[in-house]
A and B are shown apart, each in its own frame.
Chain A
Amino acid sequence: DVKVTQSSRYLVKRTGEKVFLECVQDMDHENMFWYRQDPGLGLRLIYFSYDVKMKEKGDIPEGYSVSREKKERFSLILESASTNQTSMYLCASRYEASRSQHFGDGTRLSIL
């Protein structure tokens, strides 16, 4: 079974802090994704990475950056956290020959 692990289930940070969300997958998947999920808006893609050190912007990249130094790990960075970044953040990975993405259980981030 594919396992996508997000380092924290809940996180509380202050406005202006630099925040790191970590995601690790154990199946050697090439592609990894970061989404945020807000009530009534579904999942929106922030950034994705199609291979190590490769990244592309998703639909809502403003205020975020990412890092993929190793194949199994994909980090989401909030450069200077703001209250409108309070949300549920979901990481996913995908084997390139497959259609489906596999999701972690999410990090609920609150910015005060």
Chain B
Amino acid sequence: GESVGLHLPTLSVQEGDNSIINCAYSNSASDYFIWYKQESGKGPQFIIDIRSNMDKRQGQRVTVLLNKTVKHLSLQIAATQPGDSAVYFCAENIRNAGGTSYGKLTFGQGTILTVHP
């Protein structure tokens, strides 16, 4: 039968608030994780990454937290601005049995962030 696409999770915040976007992953063999931002009409843009042997990494206004116990990843955006409105994707890199991956990524379905002025 025909498959039906899922509705994306949405997060709506006021300008200046902090935003937290969550992602669950499935594979404990993931080597690293990346967060991407996709604005309307554009391709995904790299935000920040984190290796699997780390718990936390900070960038400019963004922090990524990794909880390997529950296979959960989050992206925190401080002082959210209207320009942060976009779809956010988490992606994981999984090495194959031979130990190589060529940078292959498996993406989550995405979260829509809307920032109200």
Q: Taking A99-B32, A103-B45 as contacts, is the C-beta distance between A40 and B103 under 8 angstroms? A: no
Among residues of B, the one whose C-beta sits closest to the C-beta of A30 is: B102
Measured CB to CB, the residues of A under 8 A from B are 4, 31, 33, 35, 38-45, 48, 50, 56, 58-59, 90, 92, 94, 96, 98-106
Pairwise interchain contact A40-B109, C-beta atoms closer than 8 A = yes
Pairwise interchain contact B44-A99, C-beta atoms closer than 8 A = no
Report chain B residues within 8 Å CB of A98.
Answer: 103
- Count how many chain B residues have C-beta atoms less than 8 Å from C-beta atoms of the other chain: 26
Minimum C-beta distance from B26 to chain A (A): 13
Pairwise interchain contact A50-B102, C-beta atoms closer than 8 A = yes
Pairwise interchain contact B34-A4, C-beta atoms closer than 8 A = no
Report chain B residues within 8 Å CB of A96.
Answer: 102-103
Report chain B residues within 8 Å CB of A45.
Answer: 104-106
- Residues 16 to 46 of chain B near chain A (Cβ within 8 Å): 32, 34, 36, 41-46
Complex CA distance for A101 and B104, rounded to whole angstroms: 9
Report chain B residues within 8 Å CB of A92.
Answer: 43
User: Is B70's beta carbon under 8 Å from chain A?
Assistant: no
Pairwise interchain contact A43-B6, C-beta atoms closer than 8 A = no
Q: Which of A42, A44, A90, A99 contacts B34 (CB 8 A)?
A: A99
Complex CA distance for A4 and B104, rounded to whole angstroms: 17
7 more CB-based (< 8 A) A-B contacts, given A39-B5, A41-B6: A33-B104, A38-B5, A41-B109, A43-B44, A43-B91, A45-B106, A96-B103
Q: Taking A40-B7, A43-B89, A105-B43 as contacts, is the C-beta distance between A99 and B104 under 8 angstroms? A: no
